[in-house]
């Protein structure tokens, strides 16, 4: 096959009677309480006692194999549910397919990869929508459920917390190198393994550890998502760049100029809110801002609770700490 890989705000509560008032001739509508509105990884609301999470995401191809692309895209879409401590239950597929360039065989493979990941997550695909478009894109709209008492929110990190990352960085740089044929798909086997790994286990362990805050690391890179956790707060994040896990060959490709445009845009956006020690070189800064596809969870938790993670074989690295501050990030 030819290559085709080329912030948190709580909304006001809508509390009231079980049903909202209905206009003449209309059936009464159930009242919904919004617990988490726009700005977080997903929206959370309660409906007749059930707490739901809604999220949607889609991506262009990051690898050449359509099955892997479908599996990665599905894991990426489902990740927001796990980032909020929830469990996915249903998914709708969203597909944009240039019908003049690709036939339905390719789309079937993408869908097959997605369905495998959806089943692995314990959810079901119940429908979707496709369209003819100039660029190939695929993703999911996902509905999940969550215990209202254990919702993981992006903000809420406490002074003295330790910062934990559950997947290594470098996805954006390595997939960009694939697009420019500086690397082969075989060279990305480790990265593909991470992109198809669900964040389910990390989410459950974050809840067990009593995490103060949590988000998943995706298109805004580690620094962008970290900033979303501290912005407008009274804490700062101190990140030890030498402790951040990085995929093999990422530094090599970054030094060769393979960082995606998104990494530069992320750094530009963060100017004034992120400070770097002089020892942190340009390549490292780009890696920390590198857009991730289906990245890991960034968790703020009490250091005394790290034993819960140590008692498992789940990958994680402690990469920094939370201090009293003004909503900034400092990278050493």
* Residue 14 covered by a domain: no
The CATH code of the domain that includes 49 is 3.30.1330.10
* Residue 152 covered by a domain: no
Which of 145, 173, 208 is a domain's end point? Answer: 145
* Residue 155 covered by a domain: no
pLDDT per residue as tens digits for the range 248-259: 999 999 999 999
Which residue has tokens 């479908």? 70
How far is the C-alpha of 286 from the C-alpha of 273, rounded, in Å?
A: 16
pLDDT per residue as tens digits for the range 101-134: 777 888 899 999 999 999 999 999 988 888 888 8
* Residue 104 covered by a domain: yes
Q: Give the DSSP H/E element, type plus range, for residue 171.
A: helix 171-179
Angle between helices 200-208 and 66-83 (to 10 degrees): 20
The CATH code of the domain that includes 310 is 3.90.650.10
Residues 319 and 211 in one domain: yes
Taking residues 201-207, report their average pLDDT. Answer: 97
Residues 73 and 125 in one domain: yes
Residues 93 and 238 in one domain: no
- Provide the domain count of the chain: 2
| Cut 0.75: pTM above it | yes
Question: What is the percentage of the chain residues whose pLDDT exceeds 90?
Answer: 76
SS3 for 323?
strand
Residues 140 and 193 in one domain: no
Residues 124 and 236 in one domain: no
- Where in the sequence is the domain holding 195, given as residue range(s)? 161-331
pLDDT of residue 100: 73
Q: Is pLDDT at 98 greater than 60 in this prediction?
A: yes
CA angle centred on 156, ends 80 and 45, rounded to 5°: 50
Residues 238 and 171 in one domain: yes
């Amino acid at each position: 096959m030819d290559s085709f890989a080329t912030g948190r705000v709580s909304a006001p509560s809508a509390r009231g009677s079980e049903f909202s008032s209905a206009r003449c001739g209309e059936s009464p509508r159930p009242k919904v309480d919004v617990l988490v509105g726009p700005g977080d990884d997903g929206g959370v609301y309660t409906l007749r006692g059930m707490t739901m999470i809604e999220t949607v995401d889609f991506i262009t191809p990051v690898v050449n194999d359509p099955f892997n692309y479908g599996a990665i895209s599905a894991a990426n879409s489902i990740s927001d549910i796990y980032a909020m401590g929830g469990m996915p239950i249903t998914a709708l597929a969203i597909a944009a397919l240039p019908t003049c360039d690709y036939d339905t065989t390719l789309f079937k493979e993408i869908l097959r990869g997605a369905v495998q990941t959806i089943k692995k997550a314990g959810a079901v695909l119940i429908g979707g929508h496709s369209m003819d478009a100039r660029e190939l894109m695929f993703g999911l709209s996902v509905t999940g459920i969550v215990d209202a008492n254990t919702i993981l929110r992006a903000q809420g990190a406490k002074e003295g917390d330790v910062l934990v990352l559950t997947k290594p960085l470098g996805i954006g740089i390595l997939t960009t190198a694939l697009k420019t044929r500086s690397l082969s798909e075989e060279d990305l086997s480790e990265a593909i393994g991470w992109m198809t790994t669900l964040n389910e286990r990390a989410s459950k362990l974050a809840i067990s550890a009593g995490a103060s805050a949590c988000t998943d690391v995706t298109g805004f890179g580690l620094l962008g998502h970290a900033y979303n956790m501290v912005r407008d707060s009274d804490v700062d994040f101190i990140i030890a760049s030498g402790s951040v896990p990085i995929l093999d060959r990422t530094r090599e490709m970054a030094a060769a100029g393979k960082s995606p445009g998104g990494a530069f845009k992320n750094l530009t956006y963060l100017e004034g809110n992120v400070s770097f020690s002089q020892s942190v070189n340009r390549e490292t800064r780009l890696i920390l801002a590198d857009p991730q596809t289906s990245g890991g969870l960034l968790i703020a938790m009490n250091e005394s609770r790290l034993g819960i993670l140590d008692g498992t074989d789940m990958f994680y690295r402690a990469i920094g700490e939370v201090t009293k501050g003004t909503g900034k990030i400092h990278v050493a």
